[in-house]
């Protein structure tokens, strides 16, 4: 399958002359579910920030299909079929669920009705809570709103930053099930996740980052059973996250 996203030799950071990413390579094929795991400070979330133009890219290239999108801003990527769900501040708390979803397609308001029907079919709970302000929702419900809003522009690629963060184990499982549902609709997913073991269970492929570069890559199943990955990463990450 052709790549929907290709990150080549990416070097990036936030502070001048201090790089968080040091030649990172990530590829996501059309319709593929790819995870990124690794210890704290490895540069996992920075990969997403670099793709979205939210940090300084000092080397390498990011391509969306055949288009070089290195340095593009988030709103430009949304127009080109990229959805993004940040870890924090991912809903508008003073707006209702419906209004949050409206914000997801403010660039194309004509598609609201059809996309609202699609999102609420995928997440029936959002239809039940349509008139409730997002700030009063549970953590799991807010995550549904955030993912639903990112889907309103019918993306071909969805970027997820720590979707299970701060949720109970039961709600974490719910989020991963939702991610699989979205992926089953043909939407490619690139997910950064601290719950390494669960990420590897649901992802088609995954990358282990360490010190801003690729340490290991393979299918989720291969990495789950790799003795080096288990010894160096899975045990440490499980203790760090309580997983």
Question: What is the span of the domain harbouring residue 17?
Answer: 3-241
Q: CATH no. for residue 191?
A: 3.40.50.300
Q: What is the pLDDT of residue 241?
A: 46
Q: Low-confidence residues of the chain, pLDDT below 50?
A: 238-243
Q: What is the pLDDT of residue 43?
A: 94
Q: Which two tokens stand for residue 128?
A: 């039940």
Q: How many domains would you assign to the chain?
A: 1
Q: Strand, coil or helix: what is 51?
A: helix
Q: How much is the pTM?
A: 0.92
Alpha carbons 135 and 119: distance in angstroms, whole number: 19
List C-alpha distances in Å: 36 to 33, 119, 137, 199, 229. Answer: 10, 26, 28, 8, 13
Q: 176-222: per-residue pLDDT in tens?
A: 999 999 999 999 999 999 899 999 999 999 999 999 999 999 999 99
């Amino acid at each position: 399958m052709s790549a929907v996203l290709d990150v080549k030799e990416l070097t990036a950071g936030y502070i001048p002359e201090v790089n968080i990413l040091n030649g990172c390579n990530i590829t996501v094929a059309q319709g593929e579910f790819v995870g990124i795991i690794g210890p704290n400070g490895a540069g996992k979330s920075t990969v997403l920030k670099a793709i979205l133009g939210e940090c300084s890219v000092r080397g390498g290239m990011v391509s969306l299909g055949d288009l070089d999108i290195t340095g593009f801003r988030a709103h430009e990527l949304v127009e080109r079929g990229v959805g993004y769900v940040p870890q924090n501040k991912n809903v508008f708390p003073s707006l209702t669920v419906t209004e949050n979803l409206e914000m997801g397609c403010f660039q194309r308001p004509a598609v609201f009705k059809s996309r609202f029907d699609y999102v609420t079919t995928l997440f029936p709970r959002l239809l039940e809570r349509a008139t409730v302000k997002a700030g009063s929702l549970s953590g799991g419900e807010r995550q549904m709103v955030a993912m639903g809003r990112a889907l309103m522009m019918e993306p071909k690629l969805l970027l997820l930053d720590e979707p299970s963060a701060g949720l109970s184990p039961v709600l974490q499982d719910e989020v991963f099930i939702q991610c699989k549902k979205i992926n089953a609709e043909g939407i490619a997913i690139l997910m950064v996740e601290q719950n390494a073991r669960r990420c590897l269970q649901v992802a088609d492929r995954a990358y282990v980052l360490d010190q801003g570069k690729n340490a290991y890559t393979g299918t989720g199943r291969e990495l789950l059973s790799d003795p080096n990955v288990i010894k160096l990463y899975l045990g440490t990450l499980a203790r760090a996250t309580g997983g």
